[in-house]
Amino acid sequence: MTMLFHDSLALAPAQNFVAAERRTRSLLIVGIGLQVALALPSLTAFFVDDRLINDISVWIKPLKFQASLVLMLGTLLVLLPLIDVRTRTGRGVWLASLMAVITASGEIFYITLQAARGRASHFNVGSPAEAIAYNVMGAGAALLVLSSLVIGLYILLRPRPDAPIGLRLGGGWGLVLGSVATLFTAFALGSGQIDGPGHWVGGVRTDLGGLPLFGWSRSGGDLRVPHFFATHIMQALPLLGLSLDRFAARFARPGIVIGALVCLAVVGATFIQAVQGYPLL
């Protein structure tokens, strides 16, 4: 009996770690669940609702954002174990995860609600409420990106001692560079300084006949292209790190450096291409 009692005492801090980690993971998992929960009715509505925005179904945008946010929160969830256990179960990681989930959910709720109302969510300042909502969404999106930047910094600065080097560098730098590049492209996209409000630069201002799946303009520049590549650095570099660890562990470090440079070059090149009014393809 005494033995048991002492055992449980010794186990107590470890159990706290487990509970704290479960709390953070549960946040991200429930956040992912919310996105999926909105995606299912949105997908069904896509087939029965004939309302259009920019000549395509109102439900395309919520579906793209739902998919993208599942991917983003999922990336955080998968990369979390790379952080040292003490840090990972601490307040900072929890707060960054909470921030990511809250802003992602707020954003997707507004985008889905606007689709249901048959109204645009982005660049829509048609009514005072929508103008406020669009600004709040901008602030929320910035906070969402900053929270993944924070997680990335944690991975780089407080890694788990035995974390595989490629995944650690790929995950950390992927989140950091992805966040910075996303902030930059989103700011250029949202400012409306490049050829007026909207994601188009020149070309026909419609989403009809865009690139399959993505909807990017084929008649002119589209600022969503660099924004897409910037955001998905957050997945590309960790995946590169994972495969380097598996197939070429010796080259993990230089591999990630080269990969990061390539990613930034792609974002830069597609950005210049879009600003000059050329379609990606």
What residue ranges bind another protein (CB under 8 A)? 22-23, 25-27, 29-34, 36-38, 40-41, 77, 98, 101-102, 105, 109
Distances (CA, A) of 144 to 107, 212, 229: 10, 27, 17
Nearer to another protein, 31 or 255 (CB): 31
Task: Go through 112-123 and write b for each residue having 16 or more CB atoms within 10 A of its CB, e for each that does not.
Answer: bebbbeeebbbe
Please report how close the Cβ of residue 44 comes to another protein at its closest, in angstroms. Answer: 11
Residue type, 205: R
Q: Give me the DSSP letters along 12-72.
A: HHHHHHHHHHHHHHHHHHHHHHHHHHHHHHHHHHHHH---EETTEETTHHHHHHHHHHHHH
CA distance 213 to 3: 62
Q: Please, which residue, 74 or 138, has the CB nearer to another protein?
A: 74
For tokens 């997680």, the residue is 151
Nearer to another protein among residue 94 and residue 123 (C-beta): 94
Instruction: CB nearer to another protein: give 37 or 272.
Output: 37
For residue 134, the minimal CB distance to another protein (Å) is 19
Ramachandran angles phi, psi of 83, nearest 5°: -85, 145
Question: Cβ of residue 36: shortest distance to another protein, in angstroms?
Answer: 5
Q: Which is nearer to another protein, 29 or 266 (CB)?
A: 29
Element (H, E) at 214: none
CB of 35 to another protein, least distance (A): 8
Minimal distance, residue 30 CB to another protein, in Å: 5
Closest alpha carbon to 28 in 86, 84, 88, 110: 88
Closer residue to another protein, CB minimum distance, 101 or 223: 101
Task: Report the residue count for the chain.
Answer: 281
Sign of CA dihedral 254, 70, 226, 125: negative
As a whole number of angstroms, the distance between CA 234 and CA 239 comes to: 9
3-state secondary structure of 158: coil
Q: Report, in Å, the least distance between residue 47 CB and another protein.
A: 17
Q: Minimum distance from CB of 18 to another protein (Å)?
A: 12
Q: Give the separation between CA 99 and CA 93, rounded to whole angstroms.
A: 10
Nearer to another protein, 96 or 101 (CB): 101
Least gap, CB of 103 to another protein (angstroms) = 11
- Choice between 31 and 178, CB closer to another protein: 31
